[in-house]
Amino acid sequence: MTSANAHRSTFFFFFFFFFFVLIVFLSFSPLSQSFPSPPPSSHTNNSTDRHALLSFKSLLFDPTGALASWNDSVDFCRWPGVTCSGRRHPQRATGLELDALGLSGPISPAIGNLTFLRSLVLSYNNFSGPIPGEIGSLSQLVNLTLRRNSLSGEIPPSLTRCSNLQFINLRSNLLKGEIPRDLGLLSNLKGINLWGNQISGTIPETIGNISSLRYIDLGKNSLEGSIPESFGKLTNLLVLQLNTNKFTGEIPSSVFNLSSISDIYLGFNNMTGALPSFLFDQFPNLQSLILYSNNFYGPIPSSISNASYLYDIELFQNQFSGAIPSGLGNSPYLWWVELSDNQLEAEEDGHWRFMDSLTNCSNLNLLALEGNKLGGFLPSSLANLSPGMTTITIGRNRIAGTIPDEIGKIVNLTTLKAHENLLTGTLPSSMANLRQMRVLNLEGNKLSGQIPASIGKLVQLNQLILNSNEFNGTLPASLSNLVNLQTLDLSSNRFSGEIPPELLDLKSLSIEMDLSNNLLSGPLPAEVGGLTSLNWLSVSNNKLSGEIPSAIGDCRSLEYLYLHGNSFQGPIPQSLGNLRALRELDLSKNNLSHEIPNFLGRFMLLQILNLSYNELEGQIPGDIFLMKPTAVSLQENPRLCVRDGSSKLNLSKLNLSNISVCDDYSTSSSKRNHFTLAVKILIPFLAIAFCSSFIFFVFLAFRRRHLQKKLSFKPVEDQFIRASYSDLLKATNGFSESNLIGVGSFGSVFKGIMEPDQTLVAIKVLNLQQHGASRTFMAECEALRNIWHRNLVKILTACSSTDFKGNDFKALVMKFMRNGSLDQWLHHPDPSNSGSRKLNLKQRLNIAVDVASAIDYLHNDGHAAIIHRDLKPSNVLLNDDFCAHLSDFGLSKILAGDDESQTVSLGLKGTIGYVPPEYGMGRCSSTQGDVYSFGILLLELFTGKRPTDEMFKDGLSLREHVETSTPDHIVDIVDPNLLDNRVEEMEEEVKCIDSAIKIGLFCSLNEPRERMEIENRYDTYAIFS
């Protein structure tokens, strides 16, 4: 689908570019003088146009200065973008074309005073607000092109007064409402493009009266109802594009009389009906037939054999049935055939004749037949398809036979999916010629034999999926040559022997490696630690033995780890504690011994922990009982025990009701219990007293040494360095501009290299001239001195000293985050990378979970809740692995005792757009305020829109914009970078994004008590992400 859409977009671009040039040429040629023109009023002169243009400019923000020369020193006819070309009135503006100049702001109503205007083109800018109704005064207007802006409101009904209009292009805006009912009055209209708006209602019947129409594009809106019967009168229509709406009913029979039509796009609707057998006879010029994702049924018309110009046919996700017509490939231009997910059949050899016809299509690029009821034997003619083919998908059918020996002739093949069929035989040796192959999926067949070593020549492979077959022999070491491989699934076969160590050194593996359900033996090689980017690893149900290598702890990206059903022995390695991202861990049915490590109960994302059927012993860590009972399995470990007093309810939920009590906690040790209780009470009391004393003495020391050159705080974690002003000066090359990486309200941040270890750090230097900066410094130190979390920025040390001129100097030294801030990734494309810098869906979900984890820790896991009070994307920093770290605690507040009852007395805390509404009413800071900011951050993360975006005004906020668009129009509001163009992938992505956005909406409710609790939000994220 991605390639098809790209090709169609290119096709349409050239088609409509030619079409538009033709219109403009005709409009400005002598032939156009036949159009009636109202005579100008006697008092009208060219000053009217100049004043109108200056009024138009006055409302705009012009960041590039494109309109700087629009002034009285230059004749307005020579202003950039302005054309004066009338014969009778050469000093009147006839064209205003300002493409892609970065202009923003509303379109001035004064545009209606340019009464001689024939072409108005304002595409690829950021114009906002409504289209002014005064545009209806432009009676000579021929071309109106406002595509790719942020225009809102309804299409003005006055537009129908522009009787000379030939082309309307309002594509990709935010327009709502209905299509004007009187649009049919525009009798000269040749093209209308409203794609990618939020227009609703039905298509006016009157459009069928515009016999001059050649192009209709109403795609990606919320239109409903049926296609008007009156469309059958559009005898000059070439393109009908109604994709991605809510249309129902059948294609009107009158439409099949439009012999001129070349392209029909009705995909992603709810239409139904059978296609008439004569369809392609009635449409002799048809090039594209796009009907995917509807409810059409019946056979594919046999008249397709007469479709001499057919280029693209996409009928997937319907209910078409019967045999595929044998003349499918009679068009020499055929490029794209997508018939997946229907009920098409092939039970006899004759039903596969369409494959023979396709061998004549030298331009064929894609053939997709998966998800049908195709049976019989796979024809050998498959190997005779065009060498230029890139994609063949025949999976999820009932196809028998073997993979043709000559499949290697299709040398440009990048995707071959034949999964879930009845194929037998071995992998052809000619597959080694498919050097462009990226996806090979043969899952769920009856293929056998060994994997040939020559498969290692397919170095472009991203996915190799051969599971659930009957392959045998050893795993070829040549698999290690697949340096681009991301997914390897060889599970459920009969492979034997040891796992080649070099196979586990594939750094590219990032999605899945599944070797489960085979006959593999020997140890799990220590090279497994090289899979540092892998998300899923399974070697379960083999005959592996030895200890679990400690190197597995280097696989820090693992979320799913399955080692069950082997003969592993020894302890659970402590290095597993590094796998903080784990969601599922299954070590059951082995011979593991020793105690259960304490860290297993502290994995915040862990949803499944299965340690059953081992030889584990000792006390079950208390944190295990805090996990959801359905997530934990500890059965059949007879040497496990619990301390006296463990909840019987928890034990029964874990199916451990008969477990023994550990000796160290026998019921006779009541004195020990009293002692333990006393210690639990006394230690926190002594700790608080000690901390208070420590803070007091540090404060005294600070007062005494205020005039000294240097005073360093101990690092928050580990004794890192003692930094003086001189050290920081040297580390930043004298705080040079080349080292400056950010400027905030209370200071600047520099990149530096600290000696003696050449450690790369970020140094936040406070601007002490700024009111409140010193207080910010102390607040940040106080907030971070006793906390540590993987998603909080690590403060290495702090320096409070004087510079060489005797001025006070304060700085924080932090761990450097190479990937900058979330704000930069969302809103500031990397100019060095041609604007391709963007975050994918998985990265954004992980970032959301990371930030939620950090806030959860601040609110709930410390001795006192810490309120951040300035949660926003610029305060979320990303490390090398895009793990998010919350930073900037300059506005944080520590709650203890009755602190929560205090009101805000120092003004509004936080950043506009992210501050909860209750702060603006003088209410106290609270953890629920952070929850609100987190909700707004979530909405920004998945829409790509700042809460302060120019489109949010007149009472409209980011939250309201999102809320009114969910769930039906969620595709219209999400960041376009998040959506895959393929239908199946996009549907799953939209579901996931919808879940995230719902959490954002619940978190950002106006009433604090109605917002989600931080624990609830975090649990929800653990489930859907």
The residues annotated with a catalytic role in the active site are 870
CA pair distance 620, 642, nearest whole angstrom: 6
How does DSSP classify residue 308?
A: T
Non-local (6+) Cβ contacts of 517 within 8 A are: 491, 492, 493, 540, 541, 542
Three-state DSSP class for residue 305: helix
With beta carbons less than 8 A apart as the criterion, state whether 766 and 747 touch: yes
Q: What is the 3-state secondary structure (H, E, C) of 90-158?
A: CCCCCEEECCCCCCEEECCHHHHHCCCCCEEECCCCEEEEECCHHHHHCCCCCEEECCCCEEECECCHH
764 annotated as ligand-binding: yes
Residues 6+ apart with CB under 8 A from 704: none
The structure tokens 């700042």 sit at: 946
Helix (H) or strand (E) holding 223: strand 222-225
State how far the Cα of 367 lies from the Cα of 381, in Å rounded to an integer. Answer: 13
199-224 core/surface letters (b: 16 or more CB in 10 A; e: else)? bbeebbebbbbbeebbbbbbbbbbbe
Distance in Å from the first CA to the final CA of the chain: 26
Instruction: Please answer whether residues 311 and 288 qualify as being in contact, where contact means their C-beta atoms are separated by less than 8 angstroms.
Output: yes
**30 upstream amide cis, omega within 30 of 0:** no
DSSP 429-484: GGGGG-TT--EEE--SS--EEPPPGGGGG-TT-SEEE--SSEEEEPPPGGGGG-TT
- Tokens standing for 336? 């794209």
Please calculate the CA angle 596-598-600 and round it to the nearest 5 degrees: 80
Q: Which residues contact 448 (CB under 8 A, 6 or more apart)?
A: 424, 425, 426, 469, 470, 471, 472
Tokens, residue 36: 């009636």
How many other CB atoms are found less than 10 A from the CB of residue 26?
Answer: 13
Find residue 128's DSSP bridge partners.
106, 150
CA 799 to chain centre: 40
Give the three-state DSSP class for 666: coil
SS3 letters across 494-563:
EEEECCCHHHHHCCCCCCEEECCCCEEEEECCHHHHHCCCCCEEECCCCEEEEECCHHHHHCCCCCEEEC
Contact 504, 481 (CB under 8 A): no
Cα separation, 569 vs 547, in Å, equals 5
In terms of C-beta density within 10 A (0-12 exposed, 13-18 middle, 19 or more buried), how is residue 577 classed?
middle
As a dihedral over the C-alpha atoms of residue 927, residue 932, residue 937, residue 942, rounded to 10 degrees, the angle is: 130
Nearest-10 crossing angle of helices 1014-1024, 841-860: 150
Q: Which residues pair with 661 in a beta bridge?
A: 642
Among 63, 132, 62, 57, CA closest to 96 = 57
Q: Is 323 helix (H, G, I), strand (E, B) or coil?
A: strand
- SS3 assignment, position 268: coil
- Enumerate residues 6+ apart whose C-beta is below 8 A from 860: 1014, 1015
Rounded distance, CA 300 to CA 289, Å? 12
Of 733, 727, 762, 731, the closest CA to residue 748 belongs to 762
Residue ranges at the known binding site for ATP: 764
Q: Which residues are annotated as a binding site?
A: 764
